Structure 1
Amino acid sequence: MTNNRSYPRTVACAGGEVVFRLLTPDDGEAVLAFAQKLSAHDLLFLRRDISQPKVVAAWMDATRRGGITTVLAVRDGAVLGCATIVRDALSWSRHVGELRVILEPGSRGQGLGGQLTHEAFALAIELGVEKLMAQMTVDQRGAIGVFEGLGFRAEALLHDHVKDREGRTHDIVILAHDVAKFQAQMAAYGLTEALE
């Protein structure tokens, strides 16, 4: 599928207007500056530590190759958050996308996370993703609530699955959403324009 969503786009949230735009491989420095504002605990539900320059470089390379699609939330040139859809076209799970959403601490509690998650969800449908997965530590209740509000449901709990910088282990919850079923239901009710 092709991307028909329009970017950049300005959206309103409690903290003021924010621009949603697609990440480009030239955004490495801005993403690194954003990531370095995040706590070590915030980074635990991501597969890699994006506060490290070599990890951001790999992210930009994967973006260039098309395996990762990221929507940035930007205000006054600074990245406030991002929503990423990761797909592996060569795997047995090529119909599955992993959704990763993270905000800098000062932008939380203003509705931006929900808007960014909704945006990524709609983009995943356009990209042809049939199932979306998300993972986070079990104590990230706000994030879990946002995903559950979109229809994600817990599929797995992985005990002691990640280890923080101090060597403490944390449980990860895996949430999933059947995007293809959702899209079919929306089409059946004539509501597909609600995702535009």
Structure 2
Amino acid sequence: MSDPDITITNITAGDIAEFRTLLAKLDDGDITAIRVQVDDTDYIARLADDPDLRWIARRPDGAIVGYATVNRLPGWSDHVGELRLVVDPEDRGSGLGRKLIQHSLREAVSAGMRKVVVELTTDSDAVVELFSSLGFTGEALLRDHIRDHNGELRDVLMLAHMVDSTWENLETVGIADALA
């Protein structure tokens, strides 16, 4: 289970230096997943200019060990949010990812989103299982959709969390608090 002392808060300008420390620990796959331009200091600083639906997870010692964001899609799809998530490699498997996903889903629903999607590479069964256990289901397989750092094409799996039907089912079986 994740450390109960981990706090999740909106990202602020004061978090940027420590956030860059987290980014430095990530590999190319992680950076691709969260789509942060790690070498653009101005871009990273602007993340805190609009902190709604952008969170960091922090240990009591101040270290940032996770980041999540839900980006609302534009126009006719403005009821859909795209979740991006990364956990410090040293903290993976601790339950922190689950805690960040749950927090992100609650906040996305509070912001009026009815569907949340996430794109994952197809090589991480544990991550797919984590999202599936929280009500995400397969939406699409995008073949050769991204290039890795070696230029190799990789498949992407899109999972979706349909808020209305998923939460109704959780209430039906008595586990609505699973996302709390």
Pair in the same fold by TM > 0.5? yes
**Superposition deviation, residue 180 in structure 1:** 2.4
Deviates more, 1:98-107 or 1:43-52: 43-52
> Does 2:71 match 1:86?
yes
Instruction: Give 3-state SS (helix, strand or coil) of 2:34's partner.
Output: coil
- Local SS of the residue matching 2:48: helix
- Which deviates more from structure 2 when the two are superposed, residues 170-179 or residues 39-48? 39-48
Matched pairs, number: 179
* TM-score normalised over the length of structure 1: 0.78
CA shift, 1:53, in A, is 2.5
Equivalent in 165, 169, 172 of residue 181 of structure 1: 165
Letter in 2 for 1:77: G
Gaps of 5+ in 1: 1-11
Displacement after TM superposition at 1:125 (Å): 1.6
CA RMSD of aligned residues (A): 2.5
1: CA distance between counterparts of 2:85 and 2:78? 20
Paired-residue identity, %: 32
Equivalent residue, structure 1, for 2:47? 59
Aligned pair partner of 2:2 in 1, 9, 13: 13
Q: Deviations along 1:134-192, whole A, 9 cap, x unmatched?
A: 01111122211110001111111112211233322211111001112234455678876
Instruction: Letter of the 2:21 partner, please give it.
Output: A
Q: Is the 8 A contact 1:151 1:177 kept in 2?
A: yes
- Could you tell me the TM-score, scaled by structure 2's length? 0.85
Q: Distance in 2 between matches of 1:58 and 1:163?
A: 26
What's 1:6 paired with? none
Partner SS for 2:166: helix
